[in-house]
Amino acid sequence: MAVGAKDKIDRKLVSLYAKVQTNNFDLTSKVDPDKIMDSMYLMAMNNKTHIEISTNLIHRKSNLRNIA
């Protein structure tokens, strides 16, 4: 598989981005890692709770069908 610009638009973008220079002198992170981990934990707990509620509802519906 070849990597590279295949048409005029891609060639133009490559030439534009080749001229861009970035200077990242600040090596410290702008985001607190503890906040990221807390957010990931909250999202995981939210998803876990959603799955538990969904499976609980499915089991209740099947139990009601078995009774009727």
Between CA 8 and CA 13 the distance in angstroms is 9
Residue 17 counted as domain residue: no
| Number of domains comprising the chain | 1
Domain containing residue 37: 29-68
Q: Note whether residue 23 is domain-resident.
A: no
Q: What is the CA radius of gyration of the chain?
A: 26
Residue 7: other Cβ atoms inside 10 A = 7
Read off the pLDDT band of 1 (50, 70, 90): very low
* 40 part of a folded domain: yes
Distance from C-alpha of 68 to C-alpha of 61, rounded to nearest angstrom: 11
Residue 63 lies in a domain: yes
Q: What confidence category does residue 33 fall into, taking pLDDT thresholds of 50, 70 and 90?
A: confident
- Quick check: pTM over 0.75? no
Residue 2 banded pLDDT, cuts 50, 70, 90: low
Q: Give a yes or no: residue 10 inside a domain.
A: no
